Amino acid sequence: HVQLVESGGGSVQAGGSLRLSCVGSGDTIGRYCIGWFRQIPDKEREGVAVLDSVGSINYADSVRGRFTISKDDARNTLYLQMNSLKPEDTAMYYCAAQPGLKVVNNRKMYVKAENFDYWGQGTQVTVS
């Protein structure tokens, strides 16, 4: 199965941008439904964006129009471009993957953290 390692988090002022990366190893991420989740202490892990193996994409309403999910198959890497960041975007961001999972394109993100078996260690994003 795939192993995932996130990077790219950091501290940024409101209105700024960051790009998160999630590098896969051990398997090809293109075979998976792969996405980004975020979590703050004492809250459930919430979905941010997801991209399945046929290219269908969902975004959470809170990030639609500001965040863009994409992948580079040659680099086996998933990205999350985050623009117009807000303090409420502050969280630990996790990359997750699940084989065989499909989503309906251009829907509000509806898959949950419990639908994913493979996770990275997370990268912290702080917006002030």
Tell me the pLDDT of the chain averaged across its residues: 97
Place 79 in a pLDDT band, splitting at 50, 70 and 90. Answer: very high
Alpha carbons 128 and 118: distance in angstroms, whole number: 30
41-44, Cβ contacts within 8 angstroms, sequence gap of 24 or more: 44/113
> Could you say which DSSP state residue 29 is in?
G
Q: b/e per residue, 93-120, with b = 16+ CB within 10 A?
A: bbbbbbeebebeeeeebebeeeebebbb
Taking residue 123's Cβ as centre, other Cβ atoms within 10 Å add up to 20
What pLDDT, in 10s, does the model give residues 54-76? Answer: 999 999 999 999 999 999 999 99
Place 104 in a pLDDT band, splitting at 50, 70 and 90. Answer: very high
